Amino acid sequence: MIYKLLGDLEITGDGGRPLALPTGKALAVLAALLVNPDRLATKAYLLKAAWGDSETQEAQLHKSINAVRRVLEQIGHRDHLITHPKSGYEFQVDEADLDMLVFRKLVRQAEEAAGGGLEAGLLREALGLWRGPHPLSNVPEALLGAEREALESRRKLAAVRLFDLELAARNYAVVQAEATPLAGDFPANRRWSRR
């Protein structure tokens, strides 16, 4: 995987080593593009995501886009960031290159395998992609709040389903070992705090 959002935002280069990412607003623009892969991210959306205000000068956005392109150039993916001159930008990414997309695919496969022997394994593989308690951990908290919440919600639903499957199989020690750290990350979730 090249692009990782499920923890700190990372882009890995040759040998799997993380690249130096742009800082400040350019990091937020990169994050906003990656949480909306293969879709048009309008200029207004990117300005609001990075600056909190869609009225910011577009020249600031162009500077950030150039910083993102310089990072992508290091891995030969500069052309994956498509400019739509009047409307915005689109980040094209292969499903296998973005951990968020792989996570969604595995959860979808688990849902399709519901009731079969593969469901728990697929959910465990999906949850194993998370490298920290919260997505985009190194992007300023105030930005991309809705996108973060959606990812965290998907993670919680997958974890609860996995724990239900493990409880049904009477794997109590497994549930306790895996649920305890998650309960610490999400103390308001009543289902986890009861266990």
What pLDDT does residue 194 have?
A: 46
Task: Tell me the pLDDT tens digit for each residue of 22-31.
Answer: 999 999 999 9
Just give the CATH number of 3-95. Answer: 1.10.10.10
| 4, β-bridge pairs | 10
Phi–psi pair at 98, nearest 5 degrees: -125, 115
What pLDDT does residue 144 have?
A: 81
Task: Tell me the pLDDT tens digit for each residue of 78-90.
Answer: 999 999 999 999 9
CA distance to 127, 153, 156, per residue, from 187 (Å): 18, 14, 12
Q: What is the pTM of this model?
A: 0.89
Closest CA to 93 of 84, 101, 85: 101
What pLDDT does residue 18 have?
A: 93
DSSP 2-17: -EE-SSS-EEB-GGGP
What pLDDT does residue 193 have?
A: 45
Domains of the chain, residue spans: 3-95, 96-193
Q: For 142-163, what is the mean pLDDT?
A: 89
Phi–psi pair at 87, nearest 5 degrees: -120, -40
